[in-house]
């Protein structure tokens, strides 16, 4: 087994070819050259292998991104507008969408220069050495499992609303967990990508139907706040909600690693950011306008019973497919770490399928237990998102630029020859830190307030 693990010396050999690859990759982008995969990439030559990973086209990657990002996170956006007012709320959503587009570009450029990078742990190794790999890799697993648990709770809520609470909510969570486990089982993202088409359509249609329902049966139409003075925790939560609604960058390296032509990754990112930002703004504003002040989070709970059921029902495919993508990500990171450069990665061996099965089961069981067994799970999701998503989506992208500009463009002089890039990327790192610290403070503050008010639910409750 040790011979199959991902050793630092293997990583170093891959890193030694970066300069040559960097010149080739940039030349390809300049002249529009396209090759299958990248030199020295994660999965290598696959023509004669039984299991092929590098099969995704950029439209399918865009669909995967939309499915996992435009999900239950958007349902909190109307309440964010209510917290700070519609004008500052919309500005925050648009700004963070544009910011996420910029950081997506930085991540993709880093991946193209470092084709051996499969996940944030690999990127952490390049930036910070073995400790960085363990922290960022472990953070990816923790965040992916918590995100899976969040989707389990979203599915549980949807099924509870549809059934009028006639069955124990714990049973609904179990049913949803089984569905997520089944759909996360394929070893390649290609098998999940076609399901994600339905998942992406599901959440978009659910959002449109929800807006129609809000307009058909309004609660307090037009009773909105243009701008509201709020205390810091409330105001910052209104910022972190859209931050987390864009928090899918932690999967980008894994998605790009399974593309036929990674050079097209930015097309997928542009599609994602245009769709998500436009839809977030329209959904948040329209819902808030018709529901008015006091809109719930998730906002579908503020609709009339009929429209709430219809909207939740339409959103269910997205919830379990997004959950499947998250648990697949947690398992895939460990699987590739164990078997990179071995025959098990591309073959139907007993060892490979046994380990993959165990990893999928562990990821989904952990997500289920966390979701229903930890009374503060929703706050735990907020804490992990603050600790990791703030960096994966925003802050680390600046560090990637600083690292590559230093190593490939002439050291410190490379930084100072690009003053605009230097300032933007230093600010990007600082923004990640600000979101991380502010999000932690706001989440812990809210947790303490909920505990004092006796609002925390007991574990494993029906």
Q: Residue 233's pLDDT band (boundaries 50, 70, 90)? A: confident
pLDDT at 56 over 50: yes
Q: Of 188, 158, 207, 156, nearest to 325 (Cα)?
A: 188
Cβ atoms of residues 199 and 317 within 8 Å: yes
Question: Structure tokens of 55?
Answer: 């099969």
For 348, phi then psi, to 5°, come to -90, 60
Mean pLDDT of 316-327: 94
Cβ atoms of residues 11 and 127 within 8 Å: no
Cα–Cα distances in Å, from 165 out to 154, 158, 176, 309?
14, 10, 15, 12
At 218 the three-state DSSP class reads coil
Cβ atoms of residues 47 and 37 within 8 Å: no
Question: What is residue 376's predicted lDDT score, i.e. its pLDDT?
Answer: 67
DSSP secondary structure letter of residue 42 = S
Question: What is residue 180's predicted lDDT score, i.e. its pLDDT?
Answer: 94
Mean pLDDT of 359-370: 94
pLDDT at 44 over 80: yes
Q: Rounded to whole angstroms, how far apart are CA atoms 247 and 268?
A: 16
Q: Rounded to whole angstroms, how far apart are CA atoms 289 and 82?
A: 10
Cβ atoms of residues 385 and 435 within 8 Å: no
H or E stretch covering 159 = helix 130-163
Question: Structure tokens of 6?
Answer: 């991902």
Question: What is residue 370's predicted lDDT score, i.e. its pLDDT?
Answer: 87
Mean pLDDT of 398-412: 94
For 118, phi then psi, to 5°, come to -110, -25
pLDDT tens column, 203-223: 999 999 999 999 999 999 999
pLDDT tens column, 114-145: 999 999 999 999 999 999 999 999 999 999 99
pLDDT > 70 fraction of the chain, expressed in percent and rounded: 90
229-238, 351-360, 364-373, 410-419: range with lowest mean pLDDT: 229-238
Q: Residue 456's pLDDT band (boundaries 50, 70, 90)? A: confident
2-11, 50-59, 390-399: range with lowest mean pLDDT: 2-11
Which ranges of 292-411 would DSSP assign to H, the alpha helix? 305-339, 350-373, 377-384, 390, 396-408
The residues facing 56 across adjacent strands are 259
DSSP track, 191-214:
HHHHHHHHHHHHHHHHHHHHHHHH
The residues facing 259 across adjacent strands are 56
Cβ atoms of residues 344 and 352 within 8 Å: yes
Q: Residue 195's pLDDT band (boundaries 50, 70, 90)? A: confident
Q: Residue 429's pLDDT band (boundaries 50, 70, 90)? A: very high
At 132 the three-state DSSP class reads helix
pLDDT at 167 over 90: no
Question: What is residue 33's predicted lDDT score, i.e. its pLDDT?
Answer: 35
**Which residues of 247-324 form beta strands (DSSP E)?**
none
Cβ atoms of residues 402 and 425 within 8 Å: yes
Mean pLDDT of 367-386: 80
Question: What is residue 73's predicted lDDT score, i.e. its pLDDT?
Answer: 84
pLDDT at 112 over 80: yes
157-161, 353-357, 378-382, 395-399: range with lowest mean pLDDT: 378-382
321-325, 373-377, 433-437: range with lowest mean pLDDT: 373-377
pLDDT at 99 over 60: yes
Question: Whole-angstrom distance between the N-terminal and C-terminal Cα of the chain?
Answer: 43
If one compares 23 and 196, the residue with the highest pLDDT of the two is: 196
Cα–Cα distances in Å, from 2 out to 5, 352, 359?
5, 14, 18
pLDDT tens column, 18-41: 444 444 334 433 333 334 556 678
Q: How many degrees, rounded to 5, is the angle at CA 109 between CA 392 and CA 327?
A: 40
* pTM of the predicted protein model: 0.87
Residues 6+ apart with CB under 8 A from 262: 37, 38, 41, 111, 112, 115, 256
For 56, phi then psi, to 5°, come to -80, 135
Q: Rounded to whole angstroms, how far apart are CA atoms 340 and 326?
A: 20
Helix 265-291 to helix 86-113 angle, to the nearest 10 degrees? 170
Question: What is residue 211's predicted lDDT score, i.e. its pLDDT?
Answer: 97
Cβ atoms of residues 172 and 155 within 8 Å: yes
Q: Rounded to whole angstroms, how far apart are CA atoms 155 and 140?
A: 22
pLDDT at 384 over 90: no
Q: What is the mean pLDDT of the chain?
A: 87
Question: What is residue 5's predicted lDDT score, i.e. its pLDDT?
Answer: 33
DSSP secondary structure letter of residue 456 = P
Question: Structure tokens of 287?
Answer: 């819902």
């Amino acid at each position: 087994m040790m011979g199959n693990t991902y050793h630092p010396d293997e990583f170093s050999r891959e890193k030694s070819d970066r300069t040559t690859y960097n010149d080739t990759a940039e030349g390809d982008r300049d002249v529009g050259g396209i090759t299958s995969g990248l030199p020295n990439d994660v999965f290598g030559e696959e023509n004669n292998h039984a299991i092929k990973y590098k099969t995704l086209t950029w439209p399918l990657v865009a669909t995967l991104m939309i499915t996992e990002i435009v999900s239950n996170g958007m349902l909190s956006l109307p309440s964010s507008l209510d917290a700070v007012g519609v004008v500052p709320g919309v500005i925050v959503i648009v700004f963070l969408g544009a910011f996420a587009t910029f950081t997506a570009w930085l991540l993709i450029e880093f991946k193209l220069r470092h084709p051996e990078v499969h996940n944030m742990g690999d990127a952490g190794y390049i930036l910070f050495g073995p400790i960085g790999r363990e922290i960022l890799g472990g953070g990816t697993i923790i965040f992916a499992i918590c995100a899976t648990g969040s989707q389990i709770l979203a599915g549980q809520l949807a099924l509870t609303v549809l059934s009028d609470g006639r069955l124990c909510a714990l049973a609904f969570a179990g049913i949803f967990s089984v569905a997520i486990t089944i759909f996360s089982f394929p070893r390649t993202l290609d098998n999940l990508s076609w399901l994600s088409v339905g998942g992406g359509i599901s959440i978009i249609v659910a959002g449109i139907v929800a807006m129609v329902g809000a307009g058909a049966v309004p609660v307090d139409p037009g009773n909105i706040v243009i701008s509201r003075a709020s205390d810091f925790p409330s105001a910052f939560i209104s910022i972190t909600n859209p931050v987390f609604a864009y928090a899918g960058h932690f999967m980008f390296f894994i998605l790009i690693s399974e593309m036929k032509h990674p050079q097209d990754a930015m097309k997928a990112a542009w599609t994602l950011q245009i769709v998500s930002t436009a839809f977030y703004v329209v959904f948040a504003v329209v819902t808030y306008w018709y529901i008015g002040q006091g809109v719930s989070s998730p906002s579908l709970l503020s609709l009339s019973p009929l429209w709430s059921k219809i909207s939740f029902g339409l959103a269910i495919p997205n919830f379990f497919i997004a959950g499947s993508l998250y648990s697949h990500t947690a398992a895939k990171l460990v699987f590739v770490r164990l078997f990179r450069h071995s025959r098990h990665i591309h073959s139907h061996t007993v060892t490979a399928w046994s380990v993959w099965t165990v990893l999928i089961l562990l990821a989904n069981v952990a997500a289920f237990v966390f979701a229903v067994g930890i009374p503060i799970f929703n706050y735990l999701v907020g804490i992990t998102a603050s600790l990791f998503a703030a960096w994966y989506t925003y802050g680390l992208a600046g560090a990637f630029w600083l690292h590559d500009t230093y190593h490939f463009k002439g050291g410190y002089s490379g930084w100072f020859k690009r003053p605009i890039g230097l300032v933007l990327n230093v600010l990007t790192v600082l923004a990640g830190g600000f979101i991380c610290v502010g999000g932690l403070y706001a989440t812990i503050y809210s947790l303490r307030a909920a505990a004092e008010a006796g609002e925390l639910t007991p574990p494993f409750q029906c």
